[in-house]
Structure 1
Amino acid sequence: MSRVLDEKTRNDVRKMFGLMKNPVRIMLFEDYSNGFSQFAKQILTEVSELNDNIKLSVYNSSDPLFSIHKVEKTPCVMLKSNGMNFKYYGSPSGYQFQPMVENIIDVSFNFTHLNEKVKNKVLKIKKPTSIKLFVTPTCPYSPLMVRSAFKFAFTNSNIETTIIETNEFEDMIQKFKISNVPKVIIKGKKSISFEGAIPEEKFASYLLKANNQR
């Protein structure tokens, strides 16, 4: 199979990964018969080859980790980090590639940047709260939302973030009535949904609103 990442991209990402502090394990849950799984595996294999601190572990549908991590679809990508509830369903390609690289670096440093006002809002969430974010690899507005949703899950283990690449899961388009991306569905004490890219502070405010908090 030919390479997915071109030489310029490999060089750029290799430089970014040069900043890594600690090893990061990428977990890929796949289905051998799923073409998208094979595409995701190819991308992540090439990424893991760019720095020795990146380890890729691949699990097929018979592995007990599927049920332990409550993986519902394939491909599913997770970054191993204590307490973080973050899943990416789909192949991290196109506009979704850059946020994945940045997420890996955050996990390596065990740190992600949120300004204090946003961080304080995120830390107010004391009950389990889920974020479902629907994206496509061709949407230039989705990466901003992916990064915010990742940071929220990274900062507060009560927040579970699930990114869904709609081109690969058409059943989810119908189930959640997705007509535009990015689309966010937050479920806390009540459900809130909205479309479009918004600033992190406003996004965090919606998390509080879904839990009847300010």
Structure 2
Amino acid sequence: MAQLLDEKTREQVAEILKDMTNKVKFILFKNDSEYSEVTENLITELTEVNEKIQIESHSKDEDFEKYGLDKNLFPSMVLLDSEDKDLGIKFYGIPSGHEFSTLLQNIIMVSNSKVNFSEETQNKIKTIDKKIRIRAFVTPTCPYCPNAVLAAHQSAILNSNISGEMVEANEFPELSSKHGVSSVPHTVIEIFENDEWKTKNEFIGAYPEQNFLDEILKSVE
């Protein structure tokens, strides 16, 4: 496969990532699909741009449960911190197009142990004591989707009860259809109850921080 990032893009990415302080690691679960190959190559090229980025790839018959991944979705990926701690940041599908910027912002947040939410929002998210899953359905061409994904991922960083997940809607049509995804970003909030995930709330659009928080808190009442 041809190089995904040209030299100019690599230089721009290197500049964006130059202030990384700690290493991060991507754990990729893949199958034989082109989507998996592209995702693996994309992250591998990032490791060539910055040595603080690492990747570890697994084939689909290996254990998903350790990272709480959906074993039916490939490619799937989690982002670990410098101590190999799983922060609940998940990607289903290729983080390309506008989601490539999301990917870079996630790397910086995890590397530098810093989120962009206000202190008040952080404190409220930290109080959530139910196991929840925030899935942001996106497409690469959607300019508003990165904010939805970043909100989900920041929530996961702040609270170990939360899983924040990017889902590339076009790559997973069955899952998208299940949730009636037609416009993106489409965020689905699920609670783990009685050994299964139950949808508690859904909303469309990239909500401002306070509105996003309100939707999360409403889901766990």
Q: TM-score, normalised by structure 2?
A: 0.90
Q: How many residues align?
A: 210
Could you give the per-residue CA deviations for residues 70-96 of structure 1, whole angstroms, max 9, x where no partner exists? 332110121013252121100111010
State the shift of 1:3 in Å: 1.2
CA distances 1:20-79 after superposition (whole Å, capped 9, x unpaired): 111111111100x21100111111111111011111111111223x23223321101210
Match of 1:94 in 2: 97
Q: 2:2, 2:90 → 1: CA distance?
A: 27
Higher strand proportion = 2
Q: Which residue of 2 aligns with 1:208?
A: 217
For each residue in 1:92-112, what CA deviation from the matched residue of structure 2 results, as whole angstroms up to 9, or x when unmatched?
A: 110100010110111111222
For residue 150 of structure 1, give the secondary structure of its aligned residue in structure 2: helix
CA distance in 2, matches of 1:98, 1:89: 16
**Runs of 4+ deviating beyond 3 Å:** none
**Unpaired segments ≥5 residues, structure 1:** none
Looking at structure 1, the residues matched to 157 and 97 of structure 2 have their Cα atoms a distance apart, in angstroms, of 23
1:62 to 1:83, Cα distance in 2 relative to 1, 3 A: closer
Counterpart in the other structure of 1:106: 109
- CA RMSD, Structure 1 to Structure 2 (Å): 1.5
Letter in 2 for 1:79: L
Q: Which moved more, 1:43-52 or 1:121-130?
A: 121-130
Task: For residue 43 of structure 1, give the secondary structure of its aligned residue in structure 2.
Answer: helix
Quote the offset at 1:196 in angstroms. 0.7
Identical columns (%):
35
Match of 2:10 in 1: 10
1:146 aligns with 2:149: yes
User: Runs of 5+ in structure 2 lacking a partner?
Assistant: 194-198
* 1:76 and 2:76 correspond: yes
**What is the aligned partner in structure 1 of residue 182 from structure 2?**
179
